[in-house]
């Protein structure tokens, strides 16, 4: 059985979407686990509802290389709205096995501090005609790993942060599970 470990700091809608996607494909039985750095994050409640193990990690645990021994062998690590930088020991141990989703078209609107609504606000402030998603491998620098897939949406002059966020989330829900499925079957 394949094993996917999801890290999430927020609502966890992408985490749930990926899990539900595989549950609709019973042939692809996957063992899921979730880690979060935020005990109040929505992802914790989702995990409880879905009966997926969800553990809280502290920064000290996460930055200690013994955490990789604890994690063990995984088929894929999926960052689904996870705000901490991935430590070097993890990038090295899980080379090409950690992926992230970013709610814009990297390399634009990426880097430290660019997450959530800040990304969409900047896109709107700059009057971009399009935005989208980037799914990429994770390396030692924020949002700079090799790009696996980008998908675009139009930005209209009537868009607000909320309407743009919805367009981007809709793309995430379509493409993120498909990319995860492709990678674990490579
Ligand atoms: C997504 O927009 C993703 O692109 C970004 O964080 C957000 C997570 O949303 N990295 P959710 O917690 O999955 O709803």
For 112-162, how does the pLDDT look when each residue is reduced to its tens digit (9 = 90+)?
889 999 999 999 999 999 999 999 999 988 888 999 999 999 999 999 999
Ligand 1 center to 173 CA (angstroms): 10
Ligand 1 center to 80 CA (angstroms): 6
Q: At what angle do helices 161-184 and 117-125 cross, to 10 degrees?
A: 120
**Nearest alpha-carbon partner for 41 in 87, 86, 102, 83:** 83
Ligand 1 center to 81 CA (angstroms): 4
The band of 27, judged by pLDDT with boundaries at 50, 70 and 90, is confident
Output the ligand 1 site: residues, CB below 6 A: 8, 10-14, 80-81, 101-103, 169, 172
- Which residue would you say has higher pLDDT here, 26 or 104? 104
Query: Which residues touch 23 (CB under 8 Å, ≥6 apart)?
Result: none
pLDDT for position 62: 97
The band of 17, judged by pLDDT with boundaries at 50, 70 and 90, is very high
Core vs surface per residue 12-37: b (16+ CB within 10 A) or e: bbbbbbbbebbeeeeeeebebbbbbb
Q: Is 55 in a helix, a strand, or coil?
A: strand
Our measurement of the distance from residue 50's CA atom to the centroid of its chain's CA atoms, rounded to an integer in Å, reads: 18
Kind of pairing between the strands at 147-154 and 130-137: antiparallel
Would you please indicate which residues are annotated as catalytic (active-site) residues?
102
- Ligand 1 atom at shortest distance from the alpha carbon of 16: 13
Count CA within 13 A, CB hemisphere, residue 145.
23
pLDDT for position 66: 96
The answer to pTM > 0.85 is yes
- Rounded CA separation 125/53 (Å): 40
pLDDT for position 166: 98
- Ligand 1 atom at shortest distance from the alpha carbon of 43: 12
pLDDT for position 133: 98
Which one-letter DSSP state was computed for residue 10?
S
Q: Residue 85: what are its φ and ψ, rounded to 5°? A: -65, 140
The band of 28, judged by pLDDT with boundaries at 50, 70 and 90, is confident
Query: Which residues touch 24 (CB under 8 Å, ≥6 apart)?
Result: none
Nearest CA to ligand 1 atom 7: 81
- Ligand 1 atom at shortest distance from the alpha carbon of 81: 6
Residue 80 has pLDDT above 90, yes or no: yes
**How confident is the model over 29-73, as pLDDT tens digits?**
899 999 999 999 999 999 999 999 999 999 999 999 999 999 999
């Amino acid at each position: 059985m394949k094993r996917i470990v999801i890290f999430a700091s927020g609502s966890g809608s992408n985490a749930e979407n990926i899990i539900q996607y595989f549950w609709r494909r019973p042939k692809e039985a996957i063992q899921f686990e979730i880690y979060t750095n935020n005990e109040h994050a929505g992802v914790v409640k989702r995990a409880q509802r879905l009966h997926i193990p969800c553990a809280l990690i502290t920064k000290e645990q996460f930055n200690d290389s013994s955490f990789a021994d604890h994690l063990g062998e995984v088929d894929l690590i999926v960052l689904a709205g996870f705000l901490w930088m991935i430590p070097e020991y993890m990038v090295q141990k899980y080379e090409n096995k950690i992926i992230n989703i970013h709610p814009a078209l990297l390399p634009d609107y990426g880097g430290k501090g660019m997450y959530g609504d800040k990304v969409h606000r900047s896109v709107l402030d700059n009057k971009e005609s399009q935005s989208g998603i980037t799914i990429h491998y994770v390396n030692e620098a924020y949002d700079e790993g090799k790009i696996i897939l980008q998908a675009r949406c139009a930005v209209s002059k009537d868009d607000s942060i909320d309407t743009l966020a919805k367009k981007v989330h809709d793309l995430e829900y379509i493409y993120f599970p498909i990319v995860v499925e492709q990678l674990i079957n490579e």
